[in-house]
Amino acid sequence: MPADSQTTKKVSFTAMDQGTRSEYDLVFAHEASNSQQIADRALGWLEQMEGESPYRISRLEHALQTATRAELDGADQETIVCALLHDIGDVLGPANHSQIAAALLRPYVSEQNYWVVAHHGLFQGYYWFHHYDRDRNARDRFRDNPYYQACVDFCERWDQCSFDPDFPSKPLSHFEPMVRALFAREPREFV
């Protein structure tokens, strides 16, 4: 038997409709422990973004530049962490990276920051869609959304301009306490 099955208490059910309250208490305690590792995982995923890329900088450097620009622009810490982690989904699912990053952040951030991260990929299209005969103004279908302008600003001021090999970004260690503080918050539930 693997060592973890000897040390970790197990539920007796094999279908969820058979579980008891005490068994679900065990499951939720395990999930709470697992949740305490989210900051470590997010920082690890950022580190995986170091290395070769077709850009003149690594994807990690892009994240650091975006967060540094947000901080220099006076953004609050939650928004700075969102700027740092906005492309974290590239590690797990490049085709829908915005939604993956937003899903990770959603229990810990404001509705505005969640919406901006979830939609930044489409809004970034303003800068490149026209090269592929796509509508660069596709973002305008959200023009009536209260967070539309925040997403436009996020992309214009911090994201689209953060591919500069000469930009003096702050190191990941500078942002680590902010990441840890964000994920130490009590998460909101979305069912």
Is residue 16 assigned to a domain? no
180 burial level (CB within 10 Å; 0-12, 13-18, 19+): middle
The predicted pLDDT at position 1 comes to: 41
- Domain limits at 93? 38-183
Residue type, 18: Q
Residue 118 CA: distances (Å) to CA of 27, 37, 58, 172: 29, 23, 22, 23
7 within some domain: no
Instruction: Evaluate if residue 7 carries a pLDDT over 70.
Output: no
Residue 88 lies in a domain: yes
Q: What is the pLDDT of residue 6?
A: 52
Phi and psi dihedrals of 73, rounded to 5?
-85, 0
* Residue 19 domain flag: no
Q: Is residue 51 part of a domain?
A: yes
Q: How many domains does the chain have?
A: 1
pTM, to two decimals: 0.89
In a domain, 17, yes or no: no
Which CATH number fits the domain that encloses residue 58?
1.10.3210.10
Residue 70 lies in a domain: yes
Looking at per-residue pLDDT, the higher value among 28 and 93 belongs to 93
pLDDT, tens digit (0-9, with 9 covering 90-100), for 29-88: 787 777 779 999 999 999 999 999 999 999 999 999 999 999 999 999 999 999 999 999
Per-residue pLDDT band for 24 (boundaries 50, 70, 90) equals confident
The stretch 10-33 carries a mean pLDDT of 85
Measured CA to CA in angstroms, residue 64 lies from 14, 61, 120 at distances of: 44, 5, 17
Reported as a single tens digit per residue, the pLDDT across 91-126 is: 989 999 999 999 999 999 999 999 999 999 999 999
Residue 78 near residue 109 (C-beta atoms within 8 A) = yes
In a domain, 188, yes or no: no
Q: Structure tokens of 89?
A: 């989904």
